[in-house]
Amino acid sequence: MVAARKPAQRTCDAPGCTVPVRRGILMCRPHWFQLPQPLRQAISQTWRAGQVRAWSANCLEARRFLAENTPSAVADRITGDRS
């Protein structure tokens, strides 16, 4: 009997997020919908078109956006905390 392969477990690409997501999914739902719609569309379009470099650049932009705009990052900017 052949053992069934378990899908590779991965987590959301948002900085610091540990929510498991399925293969082929970039981010958990809450983080995905925190991104501006044009950026979400660009990520999806470049993925479907197989434009790996453009998709990778868009993903990097998404991670930067979330790192700068999550509630903790915004609070740190307001309070000046850089720890």
Q: Which pLDDT belongs to residue 70?
A: 79
Q: What is the DSSP letter of 4?
A: P
When pLDDT is averaged across residues 44-58 and rounded to a whole number, the result is 97
In this model, does residue 79 exceed pLDDT 80?
no
pTM above 0.85, yes or no: no
The distance between the two most distant Cα atoms of the chain, rounded to a whole number of Å, is: 60
Please give the pLDDT value at position 71: 73
Residue range 32-51: average pLDDT? 97
Domain ranges of the chain: 35-78
Q: What DSSP state is assigned to residue 82?
A: -
Of the candidates 4, 30, 8, which has an alpha carbon nearest to the alpha carbon of residue 17? 30
| DSSP state string for 20-81 | EE-TT--S-HHHHTTS-HHHHHHHHHHHHHT-HHHHHHHHHHHHHHHHHHSHHHHHHHHHT-
